[in-house]
Amino acid sequence: MTDLSTIVVSSRIRLARSLSDHVFPELLPRKEGNQIIKSVYKVLDSVGDFKLYTMQDLPALDAEVMQEKHLISKNLLKNTDSGAVILSSDETISVMVNEEDHLREQCFMKGLSLEKAYEALNKIDDALLMGLNIAFDPTLGFLNSCITNVGTGMRASVMLFLPGLTLSKEVGNVIRNYQNQGLAIRGVFGEGSDAEGYMFQVSNARSLGVTEQDIIAKITSSAIKIAEAELVARQKLLVENEDELKDRVFRAYGTLTNAYIISSEEFMKCAGEVKMGIALGLIRLNDNTLIDRLIFDALPSTLTQMSGEEALTEKEEKKYRAQFVSKTLRNARIK
């Protein structure tokens, strides 16, 4: 079995569901939307330890942090009239209410764990199907606002770390190949985002005419094949360009530990290169998970929240990020 630990970062299962007795959220009156929130929370509160956050009452900075952690979407962030998110106590399950559809259920797990994530989320989904009037057609499946979510309503995705394929300029061919097979490959924040820090999100492009198990099997097998190609690309780079790789990794580490100001984009690039160096054994830290934690902690809204300020100017953010990253990593390298 291929070792995926340095390639597959996380797995996510998302289920889209709409209510048959309400108009879609885009046309939903506030009062009706709030009634839906109460109905959904009542069901979830009866099956587990969940907490409700409404977009109307959630401080803007807290909402932006949730979006950076993938717990909510940009669409939900904008719905301050009747949007809400209901989170499990460990934040592995997130149920967005009145996003593009009435319900967007999500489960997150580390590594390649789509089956486990689906198993956990399916229990929540069963409770919601029992307690609410979910729109369903015997022929078409679940009915939702977007045609790509008709059918199972499932989006299964894995986050992959692909520096080898990126630096060897092979990642474009990989993306085109799997897009031709009906998959979508995007950046770290989904559709329209860049692959910052060599992070790519691989998911199914359709949910109609396939079963949940079909989707999970397809994404799992594709992730394993991409991971195998990534390992080959890494070894090839190491054999052919070891000195250049070492220089790239140590320059990136030097920037992270010595920069006076650093943008989010430059940080992600350098963090990705240090993470690659760790995976290839070119650099060692006393805690190799530091980089993974920093990749999320150094995002703009999360960083602002940690600073204790309500807001940071662009210059203040870059300066605070540099100080925070340098302090975290400065004595972490094992020489």
With respect to residue 307, please indicate whether it lies within any of the assigned structural domains. yes
Identify the CA nearest to 326 among candidates 263, 253, 274, 276: 253
Q: Is residue 42 part of a domain?
A: no
Q: How far apart are CA 196 and CA 298, in angstroms?
A: 13
Per-residue pLDDT at 194: 55
Q: Identify the DSSP state of 17.
A: E
- Structure tokens, 297: 């902690």
Low-confidence ranges of the chain (pLDDT < 70): 1-2, 188-195
In a domain, residue 279? The reply is yes
List pLDDT tens digits, range 56-81. 999 999 999 999 999 999 999 999 99
pLDDT of residue 192: 46
Residue-level pLDDT at 187: 74
Is residue 290, in this structure, part of any structural domain at all?
yes
Is residue 284, in this structure, part of any structural domain at all?
A: yes
The pLDDT, as a whole number, for residue 193 is 45
Is 269 a domain residue?
A: yes
Q: Is 313 exposed, middle or buried (0-12, 13-18, 19+ CB in 10 A)?
A: exposed
Which residues is 192 bridged to in the sheet? none
Element (H, E) at 106: strand 103-110
Q: Is residue 285 part of a domain?
A: yes
Evaluate whether residue 294 is within a structural domain.
yes
